[in-house]
Amino acid sequence: MKNSGFYFCVIIIKMTIEEFKSNQKTTYLAEEFLRLEKEERSVLEMSAGDPSMQALAQEELNTLKSQKESIWQQMSEILEAEKKEEEFPNEIILEVRAGVGGDEAALFAEVLAKMYSGYAGIKGWSFTPLDESVNDIGGYKEASFELKGLGVYKDMRFETGVHRIQRVPETEKNGRVHTSTASVAILPIRKKTSIEIKPSDLLIETSRAGGKGGQNVNKVETAVRIVHKPSGLEVRCTAERSQSRNKEKAMAILLAKLEQQKAEADAIQFAKERKDQIGTADRSEKIRTYNVLQDRITDHRVKHSWYNIEKILSGEGFADIVEYVAENIGKDITGGDEDDE
């Protein structure tokens, strides 16, 4: 029985070593571990035939064991860090889109984008526009951005949903309060994906990249539009001066959208309790109201309000919302502020 147990342990180690060998980040360490194992066997064979060498051999074996344990720990930590990065990637696509409210909604979408950009700057993340569709007064009809940095998805994952603003527009002569909305989608870019795309499923078009206001700023067709025929999903990228780089980024966005679509479908089909999905899967859910007249922002999922809208919309005070929502999302919170009408 002892022998069979030992054999089982060896099989488990070999299986794990194969996993380490197949990972680019741990391949070298795995090979070094196997080299030490081979050296360990040689020392054992040598000492078995010469009792006088056993003391020296034991010292060598202890050294080899210590080296193996150190390497094993390094490999395990690397894979553990990789798994955490898969759960909370350090790269996302942020999409903002004007909702109800015409020009005022487009201006609000731009305000949200600026808030996220300001927060990204404070966090030390990169914030790169990928594609922008602007209306006549400079607001975003829709826009997508690439954010990269440590903890970016962990911080931003609960921003998905419908945001609503209540304010008196500058063009409003009678001082009436207008309500408009904008939707936000957060798409994590994962290094590993289970989504397979056939080339025949894609329609790829190129065009000249345009600037704000729609004017052409590039005489070469660098902008890329990809349509995924089976799902009908469409993505565009105009950020890069190279068509190949825009195509690469557009494909990354498409994969992220398909992953998100699959995750949403799985959540609806299998989750009996969707508390953990609140705010992360349903893009049609109204999550937050920005009441400018009352200088108040209310998150309806956690029934909590923050004041000093100007500071928050600059990105500077946004961290307070991020932290509170992350700590309380999904909890059964009662009371709090009433929804604004």
Average pLDDT for runs of 10 along the chain of length 341: 43 64 76 86 78 77 86 79 71 92 92 96 94 88 92 92 90 81 90 77 79 47 86 86 85 85 66 42 75 95 95 94 89 55 48
Give the residue carrying structure tokens 């894609």. 202
Give the sign of the dihedral formed by CA 272, CA 277, CA 281, CA 284.
positive
In a domain, 335, yes or no: no
Residues 29/33/38/44 CA torsion (nearest 10 deg) = 150
In a domain, 188, yes or no: yes
Do 186 and 101 lie in one domain? The reply is yes
How many domains in the chain?
3
In a domain, 336, yes or no: no
What does the alpha-carbon distance between residue 59 and residue 62 come to, in Å, rounded to a whole number? 5
Do 103 and 178 lie in one domain? The reply is yes
Do 113 and 240 lie in one domain? The reply is no
In a domain, 42, yes or no: yes
Do 115 and 186 lie in one domain? The reply is yes
Do 106 and 252 lie in one domain? The reply is no
pLDDT for 141: 93
- What letter would DSSP give residue 212? G
Burial 149-176 (b: 16+ CB within 10 A, else e): beebbbbbbbbbbbbbbbbeeeeeeeee
| Cβ-contact 288, 161 below 8 angstroms | yes
Exposed / middle / buried, residue 30 (Cβ in 10 Å: 0-12, 13-18, 19+): buried
pLDDT for 261: 79
Do 100 and 170 lie in one domain? The reply is yes
Among residues 241, 270, 299, which one ends one of the domains?
270
pTM over the 0.75 mark? no
- For residue 243, what is the domain's CATH number? 3.30.160.20
What does the alpha-carbon distance between residue 183 and residue 286 come to, in Å, rounded to a whole number? 9
Task: Give me 98's structure tokens.
Answer: 């004007």
pLDDT for 220: 58
What does the alpha-carbon distance between residue 303 and residue 260 come to, in Å, rounded to a whole number? 26
pLDDT for 280: 43
Exposed / middle / buried, residue 270 (Cβ in 10 Å: 0-12, 13-18, 19+): exposed
Q: What 3-state class would DSSP assign to 288? A: strand
Q: Which domain holds residue 264?
A: 199-270
In a domain, 80, yes or no: yes
pLDDT for 85: 64
Give the residue carrying structure tokens 């959208």. 257
